[in-house]
Copies of this chain bind each other. A is one copy, B any other.
Amino acid sequence: MPYIDITTTKVATEAEAAELKARLGELISIFPGKSEAWLMIALRDGCKMAFRGTTDKDTAMVEVKLFGKAAKGACDEFTKAATALLNDVLQIPTDRIYIKYEECYLWGYDGENF
């Protein structure tokens, strides 16, 4: 039950969105017990954003929402890998990318809560 919600100024091409999806599907297994089989992704591209008072370079916020505990070590590894991925696929400067984690304890799927 992970959900990765990406908001960025950049407009992704279809090929870029597909590559992001595929590689996030691999990266998610950094978290023990998580896999692409339960991963949902939202890509909100072309959004109006600002960072440090400027709007002249691309910017991204990655919100990772996990059912249950987010282990610090896994988050460290994921932050490193996902930042590199966004830079590689969408050319977003790494120093304009935030990644935040949220642990969730009430989560439903297919009409029932876990």
Contact = CB atoms under 8 A, between A and B. Distances in A.
Given A106-B100, A111-B80, A39 B12 contact: no
A83 B3 CA distance: 17
Number of copies: 3
Interface string A30-53: 000000111111111101111111
A98 B1 contact: yes
Contact of A108 (B39, B99, B102): B99
Interface of A: 1, 3, 5, 7, 12, 17, 21-22, 25, 36-45, 47-53, 55, 59, 61, 65, 70, 72, 75-76, 79-80, 83-84, 94-95, 97-102, 104, 106-113
